[in-house]
Structure 1
């Protein structure tokens, strides 16, 4: 029974050690790799970015330069042209020259460039990133305020357009009413003009009849006077 328990404990220790080793190996292999480039290193055979050659994934960060451009050594100083990506959580991520990796100077605010344990680098990203975060928050607040103002302006513009449409509709209705009124006034004017013309003709006829009657009366008076003499 004791042998079985000891065997079980031993198996658990071996398993945990393997997991820790695997996790550590995975951490070391992707050290210095920018998050956006992690998929590039997932295959078992990886190309150098300049296309010069290929290397096995186990050669990634093995402290031996296989690619002239430093593709295989993002987390070590083995390649003269390599680049190390500092994650700097809480601050801005930066890329430093690979020669600065494990050189005894803390270049990344998260201390990830000095992972060999020779130098203890405190993580100062949160404090260092406060100014940047405050600026970003201010920009976000200004943007939100701008969006609110913009929405208000858009709503006001919509209301103004609706009001203009309503006014235009009223003007069109008024135009129709005015056109109808003008038409009625024109017809009324024509009626008045016809009535006036008719009245003028009647008066003119009456005047002519009056004049004719007066002429006839004068003629009769002259004839009467002639016969008397």
Structure 2
């Protein structure tokens, strides 16, 4: 009994499939730094528009360290634009937005440490640790029973909705804190300018007063009897 050799089509299909997989893996673009997955499509075109409508910029200028948009659309992953927003992916934990001004400031703000990619410090990934703590807290506990024991009368869906609102309020509070810090710096600068202006005015007034006193002394000396006798 003879066996038929495998067809050429069956033999060649495996390398072709492997080649396609390798090409697809090589062509897969890495996630954009500081950009949320929902906004990656916005940064896909070759020319990207600023969100505030102030202009546009080519994709090669994305995260290049220079602020082309006044609202920081082009610099989500750097600290070039103070109004930009950096997206922490926080795999295993809750994603969040930060002001781009805190990127690479040697302080770990994201639990995955993604905001300090060029600061030279090592940020340990604490996202998984937070998830483990939540899992440990939930071991042997029935969330529905806990809610019933508290007598609140809400279901798990309501609790999840409240948690989302709490996270949103936390983000709003952090944004407000950042704005207050910026406002405080503006107030300090204005106070410094007022103090400098007052100091200059006081110095000029004091100089005029001294000059006036000097002129009066000269006039008094010129009208003294001794000076009158010398003139005679």
The structure that has the greater radius of gyration is 1
TM-score by length of 2: 0.46
Structure (1/2) with the larger helix percentage? 1
Give me the TM-score of the superposition, normalised by structure 1. 0.47
